[in-house]
Amino acid sequence: MSLHIYDTSTRTVREFVPVQAGRVSIYLCGATVQAPPHIGHIRSGVNFDVLRRWLMRSGYEVTFCRNVTDIDDKIIRVAAEEGVPWFVVAERNQRAFTWAYDQLGCLPPTVEPRATGHVPEMITLMQRLIDRGHAYASGGDVYFDVRSWADRYGSLSNQKLENMRAAGDCDDESFKRDPRDFALWKGEKPGEPTWPTPWGPGRPGWHLECSAMATKYLGPTFDIHGGGMDLIFPHHENEIAQSQAAGDGFARYWMHNGLLKIGAEKMSKSLGNSLLIPDLLEKVRPVELRYYLAAPHYRSSIDFSEESLLEAAAAYQRIEGFVTRAAEVIHDVDAHAPLPQAFVDAMDDDLGTPQALAVVHEVVREGNVALSQGNKEAVARLLAETQNMLDVLGLDPRSPQWRSAGSDLKPVVDALVAVALEQRAAARARKDYAAADAIRDSLAKAGIVVEDTPHGARWQLAR
């Protein structure tokens, strides 16, 4: 079985066949940086990082483009409220997003273009649309004429033009031929940044930016366009319309991740229910938060609760515990060991991470049995399978990304606690369990957790 993915544009699961054999091009709608990221924003980053890792594991060379929308109505509004330039808000929050992606183990994008750096490409795209009769300049703005694309507009979101409401993206709609026309370019307004164009100074519209950047870095036709389900309309619908009306093939597959909710409501700043990444990382480790976001199917919705987050952390710790114990017995792991077929089948079936993680947990259970039996051959095989599966998901606890902060201190701590552990072992040998427990409690107060194993006492820093 080869990779099959659910394509929003056809509403079917399709076999993935790239434009160019052996290579995959992905465009992911990244952050609009008016505020720091909450967990709902970062879910998209984790989901598409898993896709990218699976494609790489499957032998593809992947070009991954994730944009930054660094000029927008919301950014301008926040800047005005704070009394700072718009670029201060954009830069501050882009750094917050980058930090969050890094914390959760997302591979850096191949390219991360900013909207404001691609105005020339936007001007070229607008001119192509005007020349083809699909856009027009009016009152300093430039609009896409949706009626010129009426037979195809709405195909992604499965809507008909006659049932759509006004775009509502301008203060003065009187310059539009049709209220459903959307702004490609917004004319100059007092106090707002501007860039020169043949139709007057102004700034780009949201939808135009992504089409210009995607085709610049991935070509007129590329493989996969991704983003959250809340972007299907109007953003992605408008991207398709303006790109294909200009003559580009644009994306061949559309993938959308589900939203993260609290109760019945979508997580958003306006509802006051944002969960910022630094706040969550006070409750769980970054790798545990990544597990929480990667474990559900990417198209499913997640109803956030602290209880479910802690349950996910505990599930990951069970996996981590096996890997840690097995690695003390097996020092060289085969990084090229084949993946279990059930795991491969799950990932090839529209990135079925719930089924894939079920395979991981089953292999871990087998591994724990092999450890208890002292079967080193089986432990070696099962540890290799586990680590290779976790590597695909970005969850291998032995990778540099997730290595414990205490691992660099291990030689030092080993030396410091060696005497205490020897004394504890002596106390246990003479059956003075009160003294042994007292030594263990003293280490615990120092933040060192001692675990007795068949191979002797081992320590780790307390969580």
pLDDT digits (tens, 9 = 90+) for 213-239: 999 999 999 999 999 999 999 999 999
Query: Residue 368, Cβ neighbours under 10 Å: how many?
Result: 17
pLDDT digits (tens, 9 = 90+) for 163-175: 999 998 888 888 9
Query: Mean pLDDT over all residues of the chain?
Result: 92
pTM of the model: 0.89
Query: Could you tell me if residue 99 is inside a domain?
Result: yes
Chain center to CA of 332 = 31
Given 257, 290, 324, the domain boundary residue is 257
Q: What is the pLDDT of residue 424?
A: 76
Percent of the chain with pLDDT over 90: 80
- Over residues 15-25, mean pLDDT: 98
Q: 246 and 143 in one domain?
A: yes
Q: 156 and 49 in one domain?
A: yes
Query: Could you tell me if residue 399 is inside a domain?
Result: no
Whole-number Å distance between alpha carbons of 194 and 200: 9
Q: 47 and 21 in one domain?
A: yes
Q: 446 and 369 in one domain?
A: no
Query: Could you tell me if residue 270 is inside a domain?
Result: no
Report residue 453's pLDDT band, with 50, 70 and 90 as the boundaries. low
Q: 322 and 385 in one domain?
A: yes
Given 341, 364, 393, the domain boundary residue is 393
Q: 380 and 420 in one domain?
A: no
Query: Could you tell me if residue 215 is inside a domain?
Result: yes
Give the CATH number, domain containing residue 73: 3.40.50.620
Q: 97 and 214 in one domain?
A: yes
Report residue 55's pLDDT band, with 50, 70 and 90 as the boundaries. very high
Q: 367 and 411 in one domain?
A: no
pLDDT digits (tens, 9 = 90+) for 331-342: 888 888 899 999
Q: 387 and 330 in one domain?
A: yes
Q: 420 and 382 in one domain?
A: no
| Total domains in the fold of the chain | 3
Q: 387 and 446 in one domain?
A: no
Query: Could you tell me if residue 67 is inside a domain?
Result: yes
Give the CATH number, domain containing residue 378: 1.20.120.640
Q: What is the pLDDT of residue 235?
A: 96
Helix, strand, coil percentages (3-state) for the chain, rounded to 5, are 50, 20, 35
Is the pLDDT assigned to residue 461 strictly greater than 70?
no
Between residues 426 and 143, the one the model is more confident about: 143
Give the up-direction half-sphere exposure of residue 357: CA atoms within 13 A in the CB hemisphere: 21
Q: What is the pLDDT of residue 411?
A: 60
Q: 186 and 67 in one domain?
A: yes
Nearest of 199, 264, 209, 185 to residue 67 by alpha carbon? 209
Query: Could you tell me if residue 294 is inside a domain?
Result: no
Whole-number Å distance between alpha carbons of 355 and 377: 26
Is the pLDDT assigned to residue 455 strictly greater than 80?
no
Query: Could you tell me if residue 290 is inside a domain?
Result: no
In which domain, by residue range, is 388 found? 303-393
Report residue 49's pLDDT band, with 50, 70 and 90 as the boundaries. very high
Q: What is the pLDDT of residue 417?
A: 64
